[in-house]
Amino acid sequence: MAQKPGIPKGTRDFSPAEVAKRQYIIAVIKHHFETFGYQPIETPSFENSETLMGKYGEEGDRLIFKILNSGDYFLSTSKSIEDFAVIVSDLQIIRDNAKNGSIINFSKQSEIIDIKERLHIGDKLKNIYISLLNEDTFWNNIIESDSVEDIIKSGFLDIVFAEFSSIKLTPQISEKALRYDLTVPFARYVVMHQNEIEFPFKRYQIQPVWRADRPQKGRFREFYQCDADVVGSASLWQEVELVQLYDNVFTALGLGGAAIKINNRKVLSGIAEVIGAKDKLIDFTVALDKLDKIGEEGVKKEMLEKGITQEAIEKVQPLFNFTGSVDEKLARLSDLLATSEEGMKGVEELRFICANVTQLGLKKSVLDLDVTLARGLNYYTGAIFEVTAPKGVVMGSIGGGGRYDDLTGIFGLKNMSGVGISFGLDRIYLVLEELGLFPGTITETTKALFLNFGNREALYAMKAIGKLRERGIKAELYPDAAKIARQFQYADKRGIPFAVLAGDAEMSSNTFTLKNLVTGSQQQVAPEQLMQALQ
């Protein structure tokens, strides 16, 4: 019985038209990345688990796709455990026999020789199970001795057996994981390639990531991120430039009115400090970040469940209705955080970024200070960003990012501040589709289909097709000498606007018949006229 085809939940196939639209978005983003001076890199689709785990907070870690070790791993592990069990059993018998007074010539006992041979099956087996033992001492005391009296007295076999028995046999079933984002792999990349990099290093990366999330509109388990990061500079001008980068890209895509929201993790730390919940900073920010999803009451409920007191929640009440202009919000934050040094530092950073963005101006985007914006990732330390679609479009964030002061420190490279933003390709696609903003030309297919009348005619057509392709004109030959009606039908279903016919008459006069499949008109043209007509 034939297998029913299917794909994993949260993944998708893309049609030619969909791929063309996705490539259009990527081309726009890539163009602006490069005009802003960012250089491309790529990293593997999966990383060592230890590289990713613990970098995204408790909720993020749960969404990481782990990869099972494959190949003969389980087979070899199972065989090793089986061999080890036999070795331990043999050692136990030898020890018990010796304690019972049995005098054994160890060098002549077949079971001991078997043990030695098994341990020499391979270095891997030996290293796993007797790495704690001194091999020379082990064999000198057991294999090469004619007496066990001293061994029994010293308790050496007891020690050997105890050490073997204490080794954990549970196999490590996963040592790798699919990347959750592009930022942590980038930090790992920077540390590994630090001697090849000129700092500050501006990189962009456009690759898929994977998250074991619950699939829904705009949320997938496999999706693309388009990241731009600068590492090696703590200058706030980088944040100013990233706001401009967002504005340039969304303006080019026709997304006027996209809202670029900004906040600062230092501000959030300051708020946690002044309300008496400094020790609950992560719980506080994770709950606050869900305001747009679960509402004010939902956030308060989660905070209570996480151990944040009712009194602290009451002090944070003004944040739920924090309105006004950016300058007005900054003034209110200054009053609220007057007693927090870190909080005030965050306010000053926000003031610098917002003031300079205002001075430079934005094309069609709007910059807004959102004090409830927290971004769930633990590695952010300064400014944080989130971009939402224009009003009227129901969609989650279409971009986000922030400052991370020492992400590379996790991998041993200290004091390497960085900041970056990401564009959510898949959500941007959905927004452009909903608003009808894709240019009609990006899904253009083949410009002309040459009909096939037989091998002689096909060869004549292929010579012209080659010249058209040299000029960048999309043209193709119908592969089979099928009925003409079928070939016209094929062109119609593909949306091909022109058909080119070349039979005996055309070949004799070195011409082609060009038929406009939209209007139905046709004309006989010379090769050069054909080229011009299809330009």
Does the CA dihedral 99-103-109-112 come out positive or negative? positive
Query: Is 351 annotated among the ligand-binding residues?
Result: no
Phi, psi at 475, each rounded to 5° = -145, 150
Query: Is 23 annotated among the ligand-binding residues?
Result: no
Closest CA to 318 of 372, 238, 242: 372
* 388 Cβ contact partners less than 8 Å away, ≥ 6 residues apart: 258, 259, 261, 395, 396, 397, 398
Secondary element (H or E) of residue 226: strand 222-231
Phi, psi at 360, each rounded to 5° = -80, -30
Q: Distance between CA 254 and CA 249 in Å, rounded?
A: 9
* 240 Cβ contact partners less than 8 Å away, ≥ 6 residues apart: 353, 356, 357, 360
**DSSP-assigned beta bridge partners for residue 383:** 264
Q: Distance between CA 29 and CA 399 in Å, rounded?
A: 12
Q: Distance between CA 190 and CA 183 in Å, rounded?
A: 10
**Contact call for residues 445 and 494 (beta carbons, < 8 A):** yes
Amino acid letter, 315:
K
**Contact call for residues 422 and 400 (beta carbons, < 8 A):** yes
Query: Is 379 annotated among the ligand-binding residues?
Result: yes
Query: Is 211 annotated among the ligand-binding residues?
Result: yes
Q: Distance between CA 84 and CA 160 in Å, rounded?
A: 13
Q: Distance between CA 228 and CA 226 in Å, rounded?
A: 7
**Contact call for residues 309 and 277 (beta carbons, < 8 A):** yes
Secondary element (H or E) of residue 439: none
Q: Distance between CA 471 and CA 331 in Å, rounded?
A: 61
**DSSP-assigned beta bridge partners for residue 67:** 176
Q: Distance between CA 350 and CA 347 in Å, rounded?
A: 5
Query: Is 172 annotated among the ligand-binding residues?
Result: no
**Contact call for residues 54 and 86 (beta carbons, < 8 A):** no
Six-digit token string for 405: 């002061």
Query: Is 181 annotated among the ligand-binding residues?
Result: yes
Amino acid letter, 304:
L
Instruction: Supply the DSSP string of 252-272, one letter for each residue.
Output: HTT-TT-EEEEEEHHHHHHHH
Query: Is 368 annotated among the ligand-binding residues?
Result: no
Q: Distance between CA 337 and CA 528 in Å, rounded?
A: 74
Closest CA to 23 of 436, 417, 438, 450: 438
Binding annotation: 181-183, 211, 225, 229, 375, 379-380
Binding annotation for L-histidine: 181-183, 211, 225, 229, 375, 379-380
